[in-house]
Amino acid sequence: MSLQKTRISTGIPSLDNLLGGGFHSQKINLIYGEATTGKTTLSLTTVFHHLSQQPSAKAVYLDIDNKLNASRLEQIASSQGRNLLPRIRLFTPESYSMQGDALENLPELISGDLLVIDSITGLYRGETEDAEKTFRVNKELNRQLGYLTEVAETTGSTMLLTGQVRSILDTQQVEPVAQRLLRYWSETIIRLEKTALSSNRHAILEKPEESRAPIILTINESGITEEQR
């Protein structure tokens, strides 16, 4: 039986419009950017909005970096709906091998469910010490991304991944860690950047490569919203 492809809303109209309707279900979606650009906040904002709109859905959240701030989660929940917290299942793998095990033993996902992995390359970075290790962890990351794609396509669930960055040699630019693999497997890629105003972020659509102007989002107590002027 084929599943109808849909989108899930972020709860931010301008971002949904940039994405062409929201994040893709049955696919991998990637948010990347430098530290403190709002990747986790955007993920949580999407989770709470989606659960509020889909009473039968659940969210599985893998806190790979073990950096999910409990007070920040509580702050967003207080604004978005504390009653939604029991429908978020939180896991914290402590090593790269445990990350693979966690993916293999996910709670059963069904159409409408949302899986967040924050961040998919958090533990990966600590394993790339030499060429042999890099080859091995890249092979494992490729396997994980392929597995996630298969789960998304067969269950109708949505995969939302965050990614860290590294500097591009001799430039002022950054790119996702493990960018070749992430760009290959991701249906949608959003880059977040800081702006001159500390609470604002640029959101740039990198994939699909369409001529859509970046938008400005604002980080606040309730999560992340459209730009507050």
Burial of 122 (0-12, 13-18, 19+ CB in 10 A): buried
For residue 136, what pLDDT band results from cuts at 50, 70 and 90? confident
Report strand pairing: 23-24 vs 28-33. Answer: unpaired
What mean pLDDT comes out for the span 179-193?
95
Distance of CA 135 to the CA centre of its chain: 24
Residue 130 in this model has a pLDDT that exceeds 60:
yes
Token pair for 81? 């709906």
Residue 162 in this model has a pLDDT that exceeds 80:
yes
- Provide the whole-model pTM: 0.92
pLDDT digits (tens, 9 = 90+) for 95-116: 888 999 999 999 999 999 999 9
Q: Tell me, what's the pLDDT at 187?
A: 96
- Provide the Cα torsion 166, 169, 170, 174; round to 10°: -30
Residue 1 in this model has a pLDDT that exceeds 60:
no
Average pLDDT, the chain: 90
Q: Tell me, what's the pLDDT at 3?
A: 54
Residue 126 in this model has a pLDDT that exceeds 80:
no
